[in-house]
Structure 1
Amino acid sequence: MATSYPTPTVKERWAWAFYDWANSAFITTVMVAFFPIFFRNYWASELPSEEVTLHLGTANALASLSVMLLAPFLGAIADRGGIKKPLMAVFVVLGVCATLLLTVIGQNQWQWAMFAFVLAVVGFLGANIFYDSLLVDVAEEKDFNRVSALGYGLGYLGGGLLFSLCVLMSLHPEWFGLADSSSAVRWSFGVTAVWWAGFSIPLWLLVHQKSGNSALPRPALGRLLVEGWQDFMDTFRHIRQLKSVGLFLLAYWFYIDGVDTIIVMSVDYGQTLGLPETSLITALLITQFIAFPAAILFGFLGNKIGAKRGILVGLAAYMVITLGASQIVSVNGFYALALCVGLVQGGVQALSRSLYASLIPAEQAAKFFGFYNMLGKFAAVLGPLLVGWFGVLTGSSRLGLLAVLILFIIGGILLWRVPLPKRS
């Protein structure tokens, strides 16, 4: 049974959710859209297509692997020292600065572009360890589904709005006093960094950590590291004893691999099919704006039928989407795919976060969410590499995409077996 804490305020909930508005601009504008396109056409324009896909998959995998190795240990330190927000701030600064670095990297300097991109993604993913764990500080358990979904909904809306602005900049650079579309893309990276930093401010000002050991005197750094390592090992043993948590994490490991792979590799997949860049961008906008209301509706669906069943509905849809994606032959087919992804993507993510929060001890949220993020990012190490290598070996991007279908099936079967806590 989770420990009770003072009722969070509405301001705290909205301030917490608004960080999704802030950082989703990065994943939409940089990670999913402009970086893959600009990397292929500008930074790595002299490389073969299959090699570009491999480098993109490798960059995403390196970033995810770095966070995977750090996440549980950092989570334990955050709980032990009561420093979720300070550690989150370190990663936000890293992500914002690395995103700004992308604005000054020259043509054909693909190695430097990969380096900056990896640092930016590490900042984005690392900050999310502590952001996710703050859910237990801003909402009561009965509100986890709705508050988590609110965050994802705002994220898709905010990310979509900034992305729309950046698309206008790239299509009509003269409207903004820019020389060409390349300059517009560079400016888009800079604007995204400022957006991310600026809209993070409400969280820093209004959200307060209530769980963990924030009320205790903070240990010295050396002692904190030692105690953090001890907490990490204790949490690992604790997870092994909690059947529901361990089984959920295993299920999450599989199915979020498929979700993340579709997110980070979708634009490059469309390019390999020869679809126009403007059509790919339009598809991303469709996903963003459909996902805004869909994520919020999934929060209500989770309250109606339960978060676990809501996730299973989303996974079944993803299986159909993956099969359909492998058969795309036209732009309209890609638009239909974007629409379907938008209907379930945010819902699966939001309900996964809220279901996990309901399974873990609130006072140890950061360390438990460290494992949550570790397994999620370990899955993302395998997914992009799977698509990249299988595409290179078979010469078919379609077969590479189909290879992730099995992950949804395994994840769904394991999730179905997760026992839920009994409510009084």
Structure 2
Amino acid sequence: MSEDHRATREGDGGGLLRRLGLNRPELRAWAMYDWANSAMVCTIITAVFPIYYSEVACAGMDPKTASGRYAMATTLGMVIVAVMSPILGAYADQTASKKRLLGRFLALGLFATASMFFIHTGDWILASILFILANIGANASFVFYDALLPHIARDDEIDRVSTAGYALGYVGGGLLLALNLAWIRFPGWFGLPSGPGLTEAQATLPARLAFVSVAIWWLVFSIPLFRRVPEPPVSGGERWAGLHPVRASFGRLAETGRHLRRCRQGFLMLLAFLIYNDGIGTIIRMATIYGTELKINSTVMIASILLVQFVGIPCSFLFGSLAGTLGVKRSILLGLVVYTGICVIGYNMSTNRDFLILAVLVGVVQGGTQALSRSLFASLIPRSKSGEFFGFFAVVEKFAGIFGPAMFAIINMASGSSRGAILGVIGFFLVGGFLLLMVDVEEGQRLAKEWDLNDAAPTPLAATASPGA
């Protein structure tokens, strides 16, 4: 691509969009998938479904038993995705099928969330199965979504594009959650059954419709990605030519494992991320079920989660700008310090106001910390193996969703309360932060660039990146 043509493409979106990292159609389309899938994360994983699971699907059970079953369902779904992710990532690179595989797991997630409409009182087994499937569909799709990022964004754009995706996710997830909250709290406004004397099916209808709305929202706003984001070509796969794609994928996967030592800083970043993101994921996934256990008002909890979305919008962009000033690594470390304070407040939480304070603090750091982790890792790996390396990234991310909830379940069963687990989460932030301090970002980025320069089939992006990128 010529310099003039590239300059024209970059200028299409205007100055504001360029500063936000959304100045080209493929960047906006990619970021819209965050808008789409955040509805699932907000309504299903974080806000409405955990309360519905505890109060309806597990009706009549002790709250700590419901919390334990929810934690185990979360753990099982994450284990399955963690095992599949590196194999699927290698296969996607070998066959140039990132978008196709993303679509298939999207379809699984849509089926599971829409089917939650049929969960009624006492259906905890059905609820657990569908929740596991929804987690598999969503989190497996993230493997291929994240792997597309280094193919559409240059080195000087990647932090802004990643944080812009998270910010749009806050908007999309927050808007649908606000609508869900409105018809759950005031069903009569929307022509839904309300008032005394409702049957079980009528009383649960607003929440069950919320689950269906997630599937519709997720589907509709995923369309731009499939229309605008190009499928990256097969890269560096000549040595596997002629082999069956599955066999070649395992060969590439084994090679990627060996090559991790060539990405020493990327590997160290993965290890740090495994540990500190376990703490972040635990807070995201267990906050509402923990609040239900402590008898925090359900409307307050959902409204607080909604507040997280809208606090997170400017804060995600702020972290993107902060990374340009402090550096990506320091910005992430700042987020981990805030998360440590969140754990202390969570341990002492007893009132609706406490939950609200926690929500605001989480909104300040959640999107920026995770987005910068994604973009930092993307800058430390070769683009020609993005699918495989993001497969490993997904393994780490999913295992980070295993240990925290499992810890919750174990402490819950041992002590009859989840409070102790909240303090245990601090350890993840301390150890992960220490390992992150050891990452040499400049060295890692230099080695990743050298790898791509030596690759026999560099991606088009490598050829178009500016010399100073």
Q: Which residue of 2 aligns with 1:291?
A: 312
- How far apart are the structure 2 equivalents of 1:210 and 1:303? 28
Residue 184 of structure 1 aligns with an amino acid whose one-letter code is: P
Deviations 1:99-150 (A, max 9, x none): 1111112321110111011001100000000000111122101111100000
Question: Residue 244 of structure 2 aligns with which residue?
Answer: 223
The residue that corresponds to 1:197 in the other structure is 219
Q: Partner of 2:459 in structure 1?
A: none
Partner of 1:118: 132
The SS at the match of 1:252 is: helix
AA at the equivalent of 2:346: A
Structure 1 residue aligned with 2:321: 300
Q: In the TM superposition, what is the alpha-carbon distance from 1:20 to its structure 2 partner?
A: 0.2
Aligned residues: 418
1:93 aligns with 2:107: yes
Identify the residue that residue 163 of structure 1 maps to in structure 2: 177
SS in 1 for 2:442: coil
| Paired letter, 1:269 | Y
Give 5+ residue unaligned stretches, structure 2: 11-23, 194-201, 447-467
CA distance in structure 2 between the partners assigned to 1:206 and 1:219 by the alignment: 28
Does residue 418 of structure 1 match 2:439? yes
Maintained 8 Å contact 1:58/1:385? yes
Task: Find the aligned partners of 1:265 and 1:394 in 2 and give their Cα distance.
Answer: 17
- Measured in 1, the distance between the counterparts of 2:417 and 2:330 equals 34
**Bigger-Rg structure (1/2):** 2
CA contact under 8 A between 1:166 and 1:188: conserved in structure 2? yes
Task: Provide the residue aligned with 1:354 in structure 2.
Answer: 375
Residue 217 of structure 2 aligns with an amino acid whose one-letter code is: W
Deviation, structure 1 residue 215: 10
Matches within 5 A, 1:17-416: 17-179=31-193, 180-210=202-232, 212-213=234-235, 223-416=244-437
Write the distance in 2 (CA, Å) between the matches of 1:44 and 1:214.
50
Residue 239 (structure 1) shift: 0.9
The 8 Å contact of residues 211 and 362 in structure 1, kept in 2 or not, is answered as no
For 1:410, give the aligned amino acid.
Answer: V
For the 8 Å contact 1:211–1:363, the answer to whether it is kept is no
Cα pair distance change 1:296/1:212, threshold 3 Å: farther
SS at match of 2:402: helix
Query: Does structure 2 retain, via aligned residues, the 8 Å contact 1:173–1:184?
Result: yes
Q: CA contact under 8 A between 1:68 and 1:378: conserved in structure 2?
A: yes
SS in 1 for 2:157: helix
Shift of 1:421: 2.7
Which residue is 1:3 aligned to? none
Instruction: State the distance in 2 between where 1:318 and 1:394 align.
Output: 24
In 1: Cα distance, 2:396 partner to 2:56 partner: 33
Paired letter, 2:59: S
Give the drift of 1:322. Answer: 0.7
In the alignment, the residues of structure 2 paired with residue 398 and residue 371 of structure 1 have an alpha-carbon distance, to the nearest angstrom, of 32
What amino acid does structure 2 have at the position aligned with 1:370? G
How far 1:157 moved relative to its partner? 0.9
Matched AA of 2:121: Q
- Aligned pair in 2 of structure 1 residues 212, 343: CA closer, same or farther (>3 Å)? farther
SS in 2 for 1:403: helix
Cα RMSD (Å) of the superposition? Answer: 1.9
Query: What's the offset of the Cα at 1:185?
Result: 0.6
What secondary structure does 1:242 align onto? helix
The amino acid that maps onto 2:78 is S
Q: Distance in 2 between matches of 1:379 and 1:12?
A: 30
Q: SS of the residue aligned with 2:232?
A: coil
> Structure 2: how far apart are the matches of 1:289 and 1:282?
11
Paired residue secondary structure (1:404):
helix
Q: Given the two structures, how large is their TM-score scaled by the length of structure 1?
A: 0.95
1:181 CA drift (Å): 4.4
How far the C-alpha of 1:47 sits from its partner, in A, is: 1.9
CA distance in 2, matches of 1:330, 1:102: 30
Shift of 1:307: 1.1
Q: CA shift at 1:214, angstroms?
A: 10
Q: Deviations over 1:318-367 (max 9, x none)?
A: 11111111112221121111100100000111000000000000111011
